[in-house]
A and B are shown apart, each in its own frame.
Chain A
Amino acid sequence: MDSDQELIELVNEGDPDAFEALYWRYRDWVYRLAWRFTGNQQDTLDVLQETFIYLLGKFPGFSLTASMTTFLYPVVKHLSLAVRSKNRRFTTDEEILSELPAPVSKETGRSRSELAAVLTVLPDEQREVLLMRFVDDMSLKEIATALNIPIGTVKSRLHHALRTLRHDRRTRDYFLE
């Protein structure tokens, strides 16, 4: 399987199949992220399309200096905010959480709605970093680059978010001793 850099080189040479490979590789990642920002299916699909059309417009001549997710994250975030603003919808991940059903985790018996409830009390910037780390699987360095903030700030936000969860009786079981 070609690396992202190899695919990007091929796309820069005019290979549409290489771009298609990038699309399939990151489609679901972008889709999940856009859904988290917009909270509804139609806006999510709009953002998904716009994100890849934006990426397409970068070719030829696109140069990836960090990871692909680091590049895509601010694009998806910006487009999601634009779509939400355009459609006058103000759904946030906090609102998404409040509307979620409360399925019960079979493994632990713990209600995920309790986790959702605790997440809603986190400040936006702490919750964002937490989700980037544990949902999007981004490294601390990637998060810092994507958000254009110092890595120390990332660590600080993540630390405070985890501390809140650890100290809450509804979510303390997630943490090891």
Chain B
Amino acid sequence: MTERKEHFDEDLDLRVSAGFSEDLRTLFKPQLSVPSEVDRVVIDKCHQHFIPKHWSHRIFQHVSLWRIAAAAAVIIFAFSLNLTKKPGPSTSRSVLAEAQAVDIDRNGRVDILDAFKLARHIESANRHIESANRTDKKWDINEDGVVNGNDVDLVASAAVSLPLQKQGPG
């Protein structure tokens, strides 16, 4: 009965003296301590294991910073051009160039002179508020119903960003 009780007793080893553990530990105590070289090997491997992750983490941080900086630069640039107040072009620049919509002077190519011509037209129209040309579809490049600086910007963008699609005669 006593043996059966011990069998399931959680504290069965409390009946053993403290000297029992001490003597067992002494019996199984290694005779030598761990050499420092072994410690160094393990610790070096530990640091090697984590070095690449530190580097990749730092690189990621740098990339993130560059991304943030680039995004900020784009936003600042956009604000400096006052682009946020302008409606976007309704027609792509390439389509416009191909359709010769921005070839204001009809010389067969889109260049900065077309933008200058449009700008001069707008300036002239401003002097005559009621001018019919103010809403002439011919000058409304972005088709927003108004002929203004946005149309000039669009022509200028098409002139500087696209290769000349069509060569002049000759």
Q: Which A residues lie at the B interface, using CB under 8 A?
A: 14-16, 19-20, 23, 27-28, 31-32, 35-36, 41, 44-45, 48-49, 52-53, 56-57, 59-60, 93, 96-97, 100, 103, 105, 107-108, 110, 112, 115-116, 119, 130-131, 133-135, 140, 152, 155-156, 158-159, 162-163, 173-176
User: Contact between A174 and B17 (Cβ–Cβ < 8 Å)?
Assistant: yes
Choose among B19, B25, B47 the residue that contacts A108 (Cβ–Cβ < 8 A). Answer: B19
Chain B residues packing against A (C-beta within 8 Å): 3, 6-10, 12-13, 15-17, 19-21, 23-32, 34-35, 38-39, 41-43, 45-47, 49-50, 53-54, 57
Contacts of A93 in B (CB 8 A): 28
* Cα separation A48 to B50 with both chains bound (whole Å): 20
Question: How distant is the Cα of A100 from the Cα of B26 in the complex, in angstroms?
Answer: 11
Contact B7 A155 (CB under 8 A): yes
For the complex of A and B, 4 pairs with smallest distance between CB atoms? A35-B30, A174-B20, A16-B50, A14-B53
B16–A140 contact, CB under 8 A?
no
Decide if A112 touches B16 in the complex (CB within 8 Å): no
Q: How far is the CB of A156 from chain B (nearest CB, A)?
A: 6
A residues near B8, Cβ cutoff 8 Å: 152, 155
